[in-house]
Structure 1
Amino acid sequence: MSASAAPEEDHDVIVVGAGIVGVCCAAALAEGGFRPLVIDRTGIVEETSSGNAAALAFSDVLPLAQKGMMRHLPRWLSDPLGPLSIPPSYLPSLLPWLYRFWRAGRGSAYEGALAAQASLMRLAEAEWMGLMERSGTRPMLRENGSLELYESEAEFAASLPGWAARDRFGIAYRHLERDGIAEIQPGLSPQFVKGTFVPGWKTVSDPQELGKAIWAHAERNGARFRKGTVENVGQSGEMPEVRLADGQRLRAGRIVVACGAWSHLLARGLGDRIPLETERGYNTTLPADAFDLKLQLIFSAHGFVVTPLSTGIRVGGAVELAGLKAPPNHARSKAMLRKAQRFMPSLKAEGGREWMGYRPSLPDTLPVIGRAAGDDRVIYAFGHGHLGLTQAAATGRLVRDLAAGQSAAIDLSPFSPQRF
């Protein structure tokens, strides 16, 4: 069929993207009486959402520009396998985003982003707990907390302003000395002199399995899936439509763009130029018996975490700002694994499975949730960066509010697609 052929039958809502955000949007819409059609080029939770660090990080309210990244930036950039990497050839095109990122960590911009993130996180926790109950996925939730680790008193002291900011939002935590660290997680290197335990931090048993279970719940409520690559979102007569790579055209009363790091490419055709960049993240998933891991460990100075899953132990994180086209550099996975062995001396590093994913990141650390400038029947739901899993259920609720023409559960102005 050619691109000029007549559209197929009209649909209620089309959701572009079947990552965890798109799946939660479909679930919320289906629960609200819509019949969403989800379109994805590979399948349900098969790409970036399949390999994340499995955290429901509801206490992670600080904008990235204030989480030590600017302080560590010169040292990190000097190490091509360190926590943050920018290929020299990509730097010129990245400079406008980096400038916006720097500005987002200053003064009123930072305060506004902090307050907005906290409001979204409160909603996210409530929506996830409700969705897990309704979908029967609550057994996949792990409420063991997290442990952030510091190698020096100076590193610990540098973290204190961030913990003080969390105080304002009632986020519980407890600072630990070396003995307290060992009580919570035996087997760590003695090089860690301080730690911070966050009891409210949650993880899931496996993010891909959770996403597929949420999809099953959406499907039971009327959601449908179609495999295909969406190349454009536009209009056909009185209705918005998506155009697929095979020439098919599908019209819908509403369209939700939730295809992660590729979303801004579709938004351009609707008049929205959104400064989204791609943080390529890496990990290695080891066999479950690789280490007796009690909870998620956070090595913030090194930019990675170690997570216990039902399917293994995942060592991953880091940021590579290199766009969508460069091939994976799995030397980064190996570098994190070597550090993990140093920090967890009895860790068995054999038999791991390497992975890379594309995090869709905006310079102020806030996602885009709102209507397109060119057509208010098109709703954006992307740009969650490291927090896609954490904020997915809240995003689904907000998308349903917008699709139904209801007042949103929180103030959406900080997340406006037009804020840039």
Structure 2
Amino acid sequence: MAAPSENPVDVAIVGGGIIGICTAAALAAVGRRTLVIDRSGICEETSAGNAGALAFSDVLPLAQKGMIRNLPGWLADPLGPLSVPPAYAPWLLPWLVRFLAASRPARYENALAAQAAMMRLAEAEWAALMARTATESMLREDGSLELYQTEAEFEASLGGWAARARFGIAFRHLDRAGIEALQPGLAPQFSRATFVPGWKTVSDPQHLGKAIWRKAEADGAAWIRGEAVVVTPADGRVAIQLRDGRTILARNLVVAAGAWSHRLTRAFGDVVPLETERGYNTTLPADAFDLRRQLIFSAHGFVVTPLETGIRVGGAVELGGLKRPPDYRRARAMLEKARRFMPALQTGGGREWMGYRPSLPDSLPVIGRARNAENVYYAFGHGHLGLTQAAVTGRLIRDLVSGATPTIDLAPFSPQRF
């Protein structure tokens, strides 16, 4: 192992995805010297291929978003919205038990309130970050359209919409004529939908992330290519050993390594039940369909998003860990459904992709200090909401590192809640 530098960095961030670079941007903006460590680059992995939504209205825990009701049918379909490879099921069982427990009324209410508070601040922080980084032109404010094939499907969604209404989230339910006005060309079985005007998307999530990084870099942030494999306390500092033998010494450490984060938290006394939702998508040419806004096919677990780089058809959940090879049949199954639901969709010329979403059983991220190290901070586990909550996570970590009182109560997001 190479000897660490005698001049430690101020704040080292392990992870160059959207959470890591928004945290770096927040810290650099107040003069903290920040080093991002990532094995691939800035927004080159999971943050490159997400659906591009700023889903500020998406406050319902996954355990309550129809997942419990649909779980048996989904699991019976190996290419459906949720799958668990049989060989992985024994490893997943403890996480699933916690996931089911999160659907209990008291836990659901606590998670809902915490997520709603997080989302209110998230919207404000994204507006501030886009203004600071001159990326406002990348924001699209077209709303989203959640679609239902049957009246029963629509009726089943109403409890969730009532919960959102309690937190001031605006929406309106549509009949077929209302759907046609907002998105022509859908299959006739979609007779009901819900329009959410406050739902936003970005022109391309990777382009946005790289633009934010350019501002962070201009403010003094830096990054190096490397994979952190061991982190250890070192006389009030943290030593970060990279796979290539280099060692970085830091006064403060932020773990923002997405689905790999729990491998590093054990060094500081935190065993976090982080699981990997492997998500798939296909990005089609931009002229593949006249798409007006993001479409959400919730009963089928996927969305269709208009990006400047194409039309992205993606979603689904494969709880399969970090080691299994991708199963792109899942992407093709979603694409075939999209073709049926959008009959004019041209499905040729697409680019397939798979990424790793870091998911916790209660659908809340981990944001807070390590159990055994006051100078180690965690920022991971955002599931489907990493892009949505990146700016606010950066703000909250900046507050913690700087000794300021966070704007919201971080107890629901504590690493020690498990």
What TM-score do the two structures reach when normalised by structure 1? 0.99
Secondary structure, in 3 states, of the residue corresponding to 1:280?
A: strand
Question: What letter is aligned with 2:25?
Answer: A
Q: Give the aligned partner of residue 203 of structure 1.
A: 201
Give 2:47's match in structure 1, choosing from 27, 46, 49: 49
Q: Supply the distance in 2 between the matched residues of 1:107 and 1:290 (Cα, whole angstroms).
A: 43
Give 3-state SS (helix, strand or coil) of 2:252's partner.
strand
Cα RMSD (Å) of the superposition? 0.7
Opposite residue 340 of structure 2, the aligned amino acid is R
**SS of corresponding position for 2:50:** coil
Whole-angstrom CA distance in 2 between matches of 1:47 and 1:6: 28
CA-to-aligned-CA distance 1:114-140 (integer Å, 9 cap, x gap): 000000101100000000011000000
Q: Deviations over 1:70-99 (max 9, x none)?
A: 100010011000000000111111111001
- Secondary structure at the counterpart of residue 39 of structure 1: strand
2:211 corresponds, among 213, 220, 235, to 213
* 1:58 equivalent in structure 2: 56
Partner residue, 1:273:
271
CA distance in 2, matches of 1:239, 1:287: 49
Q: Report the counterpart of residue 18 of structure 1 in structure 2.
A: 16
- Deviation of the 1:6 alpha carbon: 4.1
Match of 1:379 among 377, 380, 396: 377
Partner of 1:121: 119
Gaps of 5+ in 2: none
- Residue by residue, what CA displacement relative to the aligned partner does 1:1-31 show, whole Å, maximum 9, x if unpaired? x25x344521110010000000000000001
CA distance in 1: counterparts of 2:69 and 2:405, whole angstroms: 40
- Of 315, 319, 322, which residue of structure 1 is paired with 2:320? 322
TM-aligned CA distance change 1:6 to 1:201, over 3 Å: closer
**Corresponding residue for residue 264 of structure 1:** 262
Letter in 2 for 1:283: N
1:352-363 equivalences under 5 Å are 352-363=350-361
Uncovered stretches (5+) of structure 1, i.e. residues with no partner: none
Amino acid at match of 1:153: E
**Contact 1:241/1:255 (<8 A) preserved:** no
**Residue of structure 1 equivalent to 2:283:** 285
Give per-residue Cα distances to partners, 1:359-393, cap 9 Å, x unaligned: 00000000000000121100000000000000000
Identical-residue share of aligned pairs (%): 69
SS at match of 1:290: coil
User: Match for 1:86 among 73, 84, 87?
Assistant: 84
Matched residue of 2:324: which SS? Answer: coil
Q: How does 1:12-411 map to 2 (within 5 A)?
A: 12-411=10-409
Structure 1 residue 236: Cα displacement: 1.9
Deviations 1:34-73 (CA, angstroms, capped at 9, x unpaired) = 0100000000000000000000000000000000001000
CA distance in 2, matches of 1:304, 1:333: 10
**Secondary structure of the equivalent of 1:139?**
helix
- Ranges of 4+ aligned residues in structure 1 off by more than 2 Å: 5-9
Per-residue deviation, 1:326: 0.2
One-letter amino acid of the structure 2 residue matched with residue 218 of structure 1? A
Cα distance in 2 for partners of 1:9, 1:60 equals 43
TM-score w.r.t. the length of structure 2 is 0.99
Question: 2:4 touches 2:249 (CA, 8 Å); kept in 1?
Answer: no
Aligned to 2:58, the other structure's residue is in SS state coil
Distance (whole Å) between structure 2 residues aligned to residue 9 and residue 72 of structure 1: 54
Q: Residue 4 of structure 2 contacts residue 239 of structure 2 at CA under 8 Å; is this kept in 1?
A: no
Contact 1:144 1:295 in 2 (8 A): yes
1:8–1:248 Cα contact (<8 Å) kept: no
Q: Secondary structure at the match of 2:211?
A: helix
Instruction: Give 1:173's aligned amino acid.
Output: F
Q: Distance in 1 between matches of 2:199 and 2:246?
A: 44
For residues 330 and 35 of structure 1, the distance between their equivalents in structure 2, rounded to whole angstroms, comes to: 41
Question: What is the CA–CA distance in structure 1 between the aligned matches of 2:155 and 2:306, rounded to whole Å?
Answer: 28
